[in-house]
């Protein structure tokens, strides 16, 4: 049997060196194995023959039986095209080819019956099909039943590659001698436990399904296998790293923590905050490095939890730092923490790109001496010149805005042993993502809001409601409140037909002439932007007209209204983050989604989700279902790099849970993966996940 994983695709019948180069470049298909695991993204039923008279022009694809009536060419040079008239006896449809005009004209004639397969559409009020698949009507090679459809790039299409070509190459692999007996990758007891199809049978049925039931069984087998090895890799790493990575041991909870908790804490902690602090206290007292993700919806009190965690580090003689993605957010952390720290005698400083040289030098000196106990800042914290006396805790806020390579530099600031790491996010992460993308982290969740916080009332409004919307904003302003009005763009973009920020700013000033209006956007100089933001934060400006630069890091409890213009242009998670800018005080707050009236079904559903729930985790799950999990590869998102061929993190939550349970059960029996099957699976994992840097070490 050929070594599927290492046999070059150029040696497959029907490929050759030139096609192999194209497949490698366009689809990253380099070997027989790569091609077998290049799965169809959908399936079509080729057993049904449509009729021309019944076509509406909006079908995803159709299959017609008939013959060509005429062939004509039109245009010159690159614009040359071949046009044919095709009939099935019930009507006629135009067929068009833009490539390989001469060879196609020689291939087909008007006396032979053909099967056409393609997508119909209207052009100049005429029904046509562009570049259909064409087969002889009496050919034995006509696809029947379920047929897979493969993703293609534009380059492949221009080189006359079709989905059918990919399918034929896959069939050639499947028919290679010995491939029928593809060795199993999963232990027999696991296959038996979940009544799974053997691997070879699953691979054949994913490409050439016998029927719908066989296809579903093949999909389950291959999804389970993919997710099982992902979870096994994560869990095996966690168990191994917990043995290897020694961390600073913080056995004491002393003066700083207890004094703050009993005398300076202005509001009682929620049960969720208490639970999270207990989890982190346990981690830091264990002698192992803490590597924890803290999730908390906007306004849930993550900053206080982070500060109290930092106090545990101080109680044990260590320093702590908090790194935020923007100067505004770092400054707000300082404004929250410094008054609390002063009462305890804790020295806190802020270091950003705007910090002046003299102040920067003083910070460096006091940091090295240990006098400075908590340093808050931006990317400036990871500069080589910034050296700590003994960094024990690194807190990274809105961690998804930093690459892990940046976080690694902060992680290496303590030369003796890595600091404990706490990464925080106000962007709720769906459970399935937390189990996979962040599966190498312990996860803590603050899932309740502080007492007195009222859920934000969210409504969907359209252009005819604009006058009433302004009336409502005016009523809030008269009560002494403030309002945000957010636009998706800075400049006029006629193609997208969006309200430009500058136009909106002038309109808002005209509508509210007796109120001060500030404006911020990402292209402003930092000093100008900060000044405008400060006008709003101090109450000198009543309305802030902005782009999404205010999505994170603006805390104005007096603001009670968030108006989001062209809300249909925003993703669910972004809408939820913007909504989180209000509802931060004790007053009832409102979020008004302004959108076009002619919304599509999916867009309307997305906006209605916002009006139905304030739960960020529900919003995140819906967002992932609508948009998919996105790009999960590389070092921007995760420490566990992977590429899913068939499983879908948005839709396969049940299989993810089954795979994780199976991986946990296996590691209970064979924790070191030292049995025959353990070594075999470890080798398979190495083939899939082999990489140079284990980013999981630094969250």
DSSP secondary structure of 261-283: IIII--SPPPHHHHHHHHHHHHH
142 falls in which pLDDT band (50, 70, 90)?
low
Q: Is pLDDT at 437 greater than 90 in this prediction? A: no
The answer to whether residues 211 and 145 touch, using CB atoms and an 8 Å cutoff, is yes
Per the listing, tokens 């060795």 go with: 183
Q: Is pLDDT at 555 greater than 80 in this prediction? A: no
DSSP letter string, 400-422:
GGS-HHHHHHHHTT-SSSPPEEE
Quick one: pLDDT at residue 687?
83
Quick one: pLDDT at residue 636?
33
Neighbour-count burial for 489-499, b at 16+ CB within 10 Å, e otherwise: beeeeeeeebb
Phi, then psi, of 598 in degrees rounded to 5: -90, 60
| Residue 657, H or E segment | helix 653-669
Q: Is pLDDT at 449 greater than 90 in this prediction? A: no
More confident residue, 441 or 104: 104
Rounded to 5°, angle at Cα 101 from 98 and 106: 150
Least confident of 22-36, 236-250, 252-266: 236-250
Pick the closest to residue 399 from 429, 424, 430 (CA basis): 424
Pick the closest to residue 364 from 388, 331, 334, 382 (CA basis): 388
The answer to whether residues 323 and 377 touch, using CB atoms and an 8 Å cutoff, is yes
More confident residue, 242 or 227: 227
The full set of domains in the chain, from first to last, is 1-46+150-181 (1.10.150), 55-142 (2.40.50.140), 255-446 (3.40.50.300), 457-613 (3.40.50.300)
Q: Is pLDDT at 97 greater than 80 in this prediction? A: yes
404 falls in which pLDDT band (50, 70, 90)?
low
Q: Is pLDDT at 698 greater than 50 in this prediction? A: no
Distance CA 636, CA 648 (A): 20
Pick the closest to residue 231 from 522, 640, 587 (CA basis): 640
631 falls in which pLDDT band (50, 70, 90)?
very low
More confident residue, 38 or 246: 38
Quick one: pLDDT at residue 454?
83
Least confident of 10-24, 118-132, 242-256, 577-591: 242-256
How confident is the model over 279-293, as pLDDT tens digits?
999 999 988 888 888
Distance CA 546, CA 538 (A): 17
Distance CA 374, CA 21 (A): 55
Distance CA 425, CA 435 (A): 16
Distance CA 202, CA 195 (A): 12
Distance CA 612, CA 593 (A): 13
Distance CA 276, CA 294 (A): 8
Which residues, including other chains, have CB under 8 Å from residue 214's CB and lie 6 or more apart? 197, 205
How confident is the model over 337-363, as pLDDT tens digits?
999 999 899 999 999 988 899 999 999
573's tokens: 């998670």
491 falls in which pLDDT band (50, 70, 90)?
low
Quick one: pLDDT at residue 494?
47
Q: Is pLDDT at 639 greater than 60 in this prediction? A: no
Question: In the predicted model, what is the mean pLDDT of residues 189-198?
Answer: 94
Q: Is pLDDT at 297 greater than 80 in this prediction? A: no
Q: Is pLDDT at 651 greater than 90 in this prediction? A: no
Distance CA 619, CA 605 (A): 12
First to last CA, the chain: 41
Question: In the predicted model, what is the mean pLDDT of residues 49-71?
Answer: 89
Q: Is pLDDT at 145 greater than 50 in this prediction? A: yes
Q: Is pLDDT at 259 greater than 60 in this prediction? A: yes
DSSP letter string, 109-170:
-SSS-EEEEE-EEEETTEEEEES-EEEETT-TT---SEEEE----HHHHHTT--HHHHHHHH
Q: Please list the residues that pair with 147 across neighbouring strands.
A: 44
Q: Is pLDDT at 633 greater than 60 in this prediction? A: no
Q: Is pLDDT at 447 greater than 60 in this prediction? A: yes
Rounded to 5°, angle at Cα 49 from 47 and 54: 145
Least confident of 95-99, 207-211, 579-583, 614-618: 614-618
Question: To the nearest whole percent, how much of the chain has pLDDT over 90?
Answer: 45
How do beta strands 81-87 and 120-123 pair?
unpaired
- Number of neighbours of residue 223 by Cβ within 10 angstroms: 22
Question: In the predicted model, what is the mean pLDDT of residues 654-679?
Answer: 91
Question: In the predicted model, what is the mean pLDDT of residues 553-557?
Answer: 75
Q: Is pLDDT at 190 greater than 70 in this prediction? A: yes
DSSP symbol at 427:
S
Quick one: pLDDT at residue 1?
59
- Number of neighbours of residue 39 by Cβ within 10 angstroms: 17
Q: Is pLDDT at 158 greater than 90 in this prediction? A: no
Q: Please list the residues that pair with 8 across neighbouring strands.
A: 31
645's tokens: 């061929």
Least confident of 208-222, 238-252, 399-413, 621-635: 621-635
DSSP letter string, 34-93:
HHHT---SEEEETTPPP-GGG--S--S-EEEEEEEEEEEEES-GGG-EEEEEEE-SS-EE
Question: In the predicted model, what is the mean pLDDT of residues 389-409?
Answer: 74
Average pLDDT, the chain: 85
Q: Is pLDDT at 630 greater than 60 in this prediction? A: no
Helix-, strand-, coil-residue percentages of the chain, each rounded to 5? 45, 20, 40
Distance CA 419, CA 392 (A): 5
Distance CA 511, CA 188 (A): 72
Which residues, including other chains, have CB under 8 Å from residue 528's CB and lie 6 or more apart? none
């Amino acid at each position: 049997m050929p070594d599927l994983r290492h046999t070059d695709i150029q040696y497959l019948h029907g490929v050759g060196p030139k096609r192999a180069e194209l497949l490698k470049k366009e689809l990253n298909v380099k070997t027989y194995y790569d091609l077998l695991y290049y799965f169809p993204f959908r399936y079509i039923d080729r057993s049904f023959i449509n009729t021309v008279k019944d076509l509406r022009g909006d079908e995803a694809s159709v299959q017609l039986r008939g013959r060509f009536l005429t062939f004509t060419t039109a245009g010159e040079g690159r614009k040359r095209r071949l046009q044919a008239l095709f009939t099935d006896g019930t009507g006629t449809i135009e067929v068009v080819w833009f490539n390989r005009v001469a060879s196609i004209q020689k291939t087909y004639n008007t006396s032979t019956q053909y099967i056409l397969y393609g997508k119909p559409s209207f052009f100049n009020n005429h029904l046509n099909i562009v570049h259909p698949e064409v087969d002889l009507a009496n050919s034995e090679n006509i696809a029947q039943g379920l047929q897979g459809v493969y993703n293609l790039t534009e380059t492949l299409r221009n080189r006359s590659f079709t989905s059918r070509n990919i399918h034929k190459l896959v069939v050639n692999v499947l028919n290679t001698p010995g491939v029928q007996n593809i060795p199993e990758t999963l232990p027999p007891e696991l296959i038996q436990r979940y009544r799974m199809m053997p691997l070879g049978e699953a691979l054949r049925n994913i490409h050439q399904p016998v029927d719908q039931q066989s296809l579903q069984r093949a999909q389950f087998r291959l999804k389970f296998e993919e997710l099982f090895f992902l979870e096994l890799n994560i869990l095996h790493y966690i168990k191994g790293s917990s043995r290897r990575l020694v961390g600073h041991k913080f056995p004491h909870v002393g003066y700083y923590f207890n004094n703050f908790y009993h005398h300076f804490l202005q509001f009682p902690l929620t049960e969720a905050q208490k639970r999270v602090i207990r989890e982190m206290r346990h981690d830091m007292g264990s002698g192992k490095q803490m590597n924890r993700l803290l999730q908390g919806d906007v306004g849930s009190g993550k900053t206080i939890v982070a500060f109290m965690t930092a106090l545990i580090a101080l109680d044990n003689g260590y320093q702590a730092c908090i790194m935020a993605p923007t100067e505004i957010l770092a400054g707000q952390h300082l404004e929250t923490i410094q008054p609390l720290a002063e009462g305890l005698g804790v020295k806190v400083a802020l270091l950003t790109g705007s910090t002046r040289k003299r102040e920067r030098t003083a910070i460096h000196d006091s940091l090295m001496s240990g006098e400075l106990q908590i340093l808050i800042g931006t990317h400036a914290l990871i500069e080589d010149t910034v050296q700590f006396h003994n960094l024990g805790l690194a807190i990274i806020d809105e961690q998804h805005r930093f690459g892990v390579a940046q976080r690694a530099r902060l992680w290496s600031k303590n030369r003796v042993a890595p600091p404990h790491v706490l990464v925080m996010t106000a962007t709720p992460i769906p459970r399935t993502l937390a189990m996979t993308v962040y599966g190498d982290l312990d996860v803590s969740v603050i899932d309740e809001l502080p007492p007195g916080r009222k859920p934000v009332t969210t409504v969907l409004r359209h252009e005819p409601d604009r006058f009433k919307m302004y009336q409502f904003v005016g009523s809030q302003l008269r009560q002494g409140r403030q309002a945000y009005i957010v636009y998706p763009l800075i400049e006029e973009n006629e193609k997208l037909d969006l309200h430009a920020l500058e136009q909106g700013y002038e309109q808002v000033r005209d509508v509210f002439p007796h109120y001060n209006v500030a404006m911020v956007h990402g292209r402003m100089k930092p000093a100008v932007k900060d000044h405008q933001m400060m006008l709003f934060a101090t109450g000198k400006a009543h309305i802030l007209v902005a782009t999404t630069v205010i999505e994170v890091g603006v805390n104005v409890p007096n603001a009670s209204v968030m108006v989001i213009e062209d809300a249909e242009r925003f993703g669910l998670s972004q809408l939820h983050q913007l909504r989180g800018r209000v509802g931060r005080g004790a007053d009832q707050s409102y979020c008004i989604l302004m959108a076009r009236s002619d919304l599509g079904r999916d867009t309307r559903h997305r906006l209605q989700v916002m009006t139905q729930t304030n739960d960020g985790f529900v919003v995140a799950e819906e967002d992932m279902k609508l948009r998919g999990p996105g790009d999960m590869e590389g070092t921007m998102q995760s420490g566990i790099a992977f590429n899913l061929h068939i499983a879908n993190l948005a839709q396969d939550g049940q299989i993810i849970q089954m795979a994780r349970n199976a991986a946990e059960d296996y590691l209970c029996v064979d924790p070191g993966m030292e049995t025959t099957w353990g070594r075999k699976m470890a080798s398979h994992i190495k083939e899939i996940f082999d990489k140079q840097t284990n980013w999981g070490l630094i969250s």
